[in-house]
Amino acid sequence: MSIQKVLINEKTIQERTRQLAEEITEDYQGKKLTLICILKGSIFFFTDLTRRINLDTELEFVRISSYAGENSTGDINLKVDLDNPVTGKDVIVIEDIIDTGRTLSYFMKHLQKQKPNSLKLCSLLDKPERREVDDVKVDYTGFTIPNRFVIGYGLDLDEQYRTIPQINCIINEDEEKQIDKDSRVIKKQLLKKD
């Protein structure tokens, strides 16, 4: 029987989001920043992160899809594009998870063609074991996670589970102990407070 188990709890997500917002605020002092939300998966991460960035910002939304069930179709679809091109702007793309990397490889090239002043990528989660491309560099990573399908905090399985406030794995009962172990390892990625 499949069950859900917490991989990253709400408090850990919020703490890491706060740390990333501080880092971005420091890195872009004195600049106006354009933040791009990739719908739908990064909606909650985007709203939590951007409200903590203490800079002059402009928000943009795009919609890209590539997934059916637990598998990437590899067929990238830009369903909603930017209102305005990012020419000359300082841009950070905010994504929920980098898996094969195909979606972001495609989208970052799409943006580069518009000649932004700078272009970076921030992803809440990274599953490097699954990478199939070598041209995606994540500049700001929330958590590096093992090769498991995750849901919640925006992430879905066929449009279900997005509103769960934490990040869960769907597992078999005999995997529970392994998830507890994975969860402890992930928590250690929080930056230590002085």
Residues involved in catalysis: 99
Residue 21 backbone dihedrals phi, psi, to 5 degrees: -60, -40
| Residue 57 or 72 having the CB closest to Mg ion | 72
Task: State the Cα–Cα distance between residues 175 and 155, nearest whole angstrom.
Answer: 21
Contacts of 55 (CB under 8 A, 6+ apart): 24, 25, 28, 29, 31, 32, 33
| Residue 55 or 183 having the CB closest to ligand IMP | 183
**Does residue 87 contact residue 116 with C-beta atoms inside 8 Å?**
yes
Binding partner selected for residue 139 from ligand IMP, Mg ion, none, CB under the kind-specific 5 to 8 Å limit? none
Using CA atoms in the order 24, 110, 152, 48, what is the torsion angle rounded to 10 degrees?
A: 30
| Residue 39 or 171 having the CB closest to Mg ion | 39
Binding partner selected for residue 149 from ligand IMP, Mg ion, none, CB under the kind-specific 5 to 8 Å limit? ligand IMP
Binding stretches for ligand IMP (CB under 6 A) = 41, 66-67, 72, 95-103, 149-151, 155-156
Q: How far is the CB of 183 from ligand IMP (least distance, A)?
A: 15
**What is the phi-psi region of residue 159: left when phi exceeds 0, alpha when psi lies from -120 to 50, beta otherwise?**
left
Give the contact letters, 52-71, x = binds to Mg ion (CB under 5 A), - = no.
---------------x----
Q: How far is the CB of 185 from ligand IMP (least distance, A)?
A: 17
**Residue written as tokens 């992803």?**
123
Q: What angle do CA 144, 48, 82 make, to 5 degrees?
A: 90
* DSSP summary character for residue 161: S
Q: Is 101 in the site for Mg ion (CB under 5 A)?
A: no
Among 37, 41, 64, 168, binds Mg ion (CB under 5 A): 41
| Residue 26 or 75 having the CB closest to ligand IMP | 75
Applying CB under 5 A, which residues contact Mg ion?
41, 67
